[in-house]
Structure 1
Amino acid sequence: MLGKKRPLGKELNEIQVGDTYSETKKMDDRDLLLYLGLTGDANPLYLQHDYASLTAYEKPIVPSVMLFGMVSSLVSMSLPGPGSHITQHEMTFPAPVYHSTTVAFTLEVIAIDYQNKQVAMSVTGTNHENEIVVRGKLYVSPACKPNSLTAKSLENFF
């Protein structure tokens, strides 16, 4: 990682209402197993086909917190980008996401609060049937460039 400069994301003054970012992500079994191993979450609804077939979902689903993790990644890597931080979120998951499903996520800046140095963003996620599977609102503190004598030591990151 060191040796190659990594640009910080957009600062507050570089963001405009209406800015958007979209990306699709596939819910791979590998990623699901990594999440479950990391958290120790062994909910049979996420893993066991026999159990899930007896529920209203009919087959295993992706944990909603894993979907939020993908949204968080889009914020911290794309809009506003590296150096940003989600300070508050309101998320709903109106329809289940099944294993191997591709979800199209869209982030949009809907308001800018200069006084509190944050932006409000809407997020939506749709599956291949154009059904909304994620809907929410995020408050994000965008990146800000360090302004100190020690900032030079972090030059690989901006």
Structure 2
Amino acid sequence: MNAMDGNPNEATRTIAIRAEDIERFVALVGDRNPIHVDEDYAAGTRFQRRIAPGMLVASYISAVIANQLPGPGVIYLEQNLRFEAPVHIGDTITAKVRVVERPRPDRLRLETTCSNQSGQRVLSGTALVQVSPPVPAEAGTGPA
């Protein structure tokens, strides 16, 4: 496994949520919900300001799984998510992945969470991944 924090069963990544990241994400996936893109609309909601799309926040879990734990070559098999609190522009999110079970030699069950700068959990869930043979360090660095 490729956990970078020294614990082979846990890995984290911390990301600042920026308005431009939200705008690029909604343009890429087509999620034009006004709660994500319209300050005036968002001001009239219970959130009182724009919030990040939940799947943008969840995508940071995918980055931890793909790059750190278990790392390159992993295959995502399933993911369940519970969105627990809003994420606002300017929040700093820590995505955390922890191994909780190895149901088969080539499978890992992972606990997945995202927390904000105050330590409040904003997203939680579990993932099942297939562990593949390690990918050589130079793989994926050249042109496609």
Structure with more contact order per residue of length (Cα contacts < 8 Å, sep ≥ 6): 1
Q: Counterpart amino acid of 1:135?
A: S
How far the C-alpha of 1:114 sits from its partner, in A, is 2.1
Task: Give 3-state SS (helix, strand or coil) of 2:108's partner.
Answer: strand
Aligned pair in 2 of structure 1 residues 144, 52: CA closer, same or farther (>3 Å)? same
Q: Counterpart amino acid of 2:67?
A: M
Aligned length: 136
How far the C-alpha of 1:31 sits from its partner, in A, is 1.5
Question: Is contact 1:20–1:109 with CA below 8 Å preserved after alignment?
Answer: yes
How far the C-alpha of 1:155 sits from its partner, in A, is 8.4
Q: Percent same amino acid at aligned positions?
A: 22
1:107-122 correspondence runs (5 A): 107-114=97-104, 117-122=106-111
Q: 1:96 aligns with which of 86, 104, 107?
A: 86
Aligned equivalent of 1:87 = 77
How far the C-alpha of 1:28 sits from its partner, in A, is 1.5
How far the C-alpha of 1:156 sits from its partner, in A, is 3.6
- 1: CA distance, partners of 2:134 / 2:114: 31
Question: Is contact 1:81–1:143 with CA below 8 Å preserved after alignment?
Answer: no
- 1: CA distance, partners of 2:137 / 2:73: 13
Aligned equivalent of 1:143 = 132
- Tell me the TM-score normalised to structure 1 length: 0.78
Aligned equivalent of 1:7 = none
Q: 1:63 aligns with which of 53, 56, 59?
A: 53
Gaps of 5+ in 1: 1-9, 12-17, 147-153
CA deviation vs aligned residue, 1:91-142 (integer Å, no higher than 9, x gap): 1111000112101121100000225x21000011111221110111010112
Task: Give 3-state SS (helix, strand or coil) of 1:109's partner.
Answer: strand
- Say which one has the larger Rg: 1
- 1: CA distance, partners of 2:114 / 2:30: 26
CA deviation vs aligned residue, 1:38-67 (integer Å, no higher than 9, x gap): 112211000111111111111100001111
CA deviation vs aligned residue, 1:2-49 (integer Å, no higher than 9, x gap): xxxxxxxx39xxxxxx70001211111221111111112211000111
CA deviation vs aligned residue, 1:72-105 (integer Å, no higher than 9, x gap): 1110011111110210111111100011210112
Question: Is contact 1:60–1:99 with CA below 8 Å preserved after alignment?
Answer: yes
Question: Is contact 1:124–1:135 with CA below 8 Å preserved after alignment?
Answer: yes
Aligned equivalent of 2:5 = none
- 2: CA distance, partners of 1:61 / 1:92: 16
How far the C-alpha of 1:145 sits from its partner, in A, is 4.8
Larger helix share, 1 or 2: 1
Confirm or deny that 1:134 pairs with 2:116.
no
